[in-house]
Amino acid sequence: MFTLISSILGFGTSFLPKILGFFETKRDQAHELAMMDKQLEQQLELGEQKMQMMDIQADISETETLHKEHASITRKSSQWCVNLSSSVRPIITYCLFLEFVGLTFLLAFGYIDNGMYSLIWSDPMMGV
């Protein structure tokens, strides 16, 4: 009886390493797949960062080119034109500020109501 049991156990345990090896291989393959997924995600993020850097670099080079072009144009023009060109943004800013102050006073003294004020001083105008 013991001989029969020991021969069955001997025969059965000869398959045990193969079965354990199968589960270990399966676990290793699952781990490798998870690592590949992480590497793919990392590569995608790196690609997105490279694209953002290329966009930023393109914006920088465009700005540099515009400044060089503007500098070459202003070297050829008269001082009056250069002064006029440099005063455009401040003048527009002052005009927008005066518009805001004027609308605020008109609203405060009752010459216009909130509806008219919000039509004139709308979100796009605030963005300007």
Per residue in 112-122, pLDDT (tens digit) is 888 888 888 77
For residue 101, which of 124, 128, 109 has the smallest C-alpha distance? Answer: 109
Q: Answer whether residue 2 shows pLDDT above 90.
A: no
Residue in this structure with the two tokens 């589960």, named with its chain if needed: 23
Q: Please, is 53 exposed, middle or buried when counting C-beta atoms within 10 Å of its C-beta (0-12, 13-18, 19+)?
A: exposed
The tens digit of pLDDT for each residue in 43-86 reads 999 999 999 999 999 999 999 998 898 888 778 888 888 888 88
Q: Are 65 and 74 in contact (CB under 8 A)?
A: no
Of 59 and 18, the structure prediction assigns the larger pLDDT to: 59
Q: Is the pTM of this model over 0.75?
A: no
Planar angle of CA 43, 45, 40, nearest 5 degrees: 35
Token duo for residue 12: 């059965």
CA distance 72 to 128: 29
Average pLDDT, the chain: 84
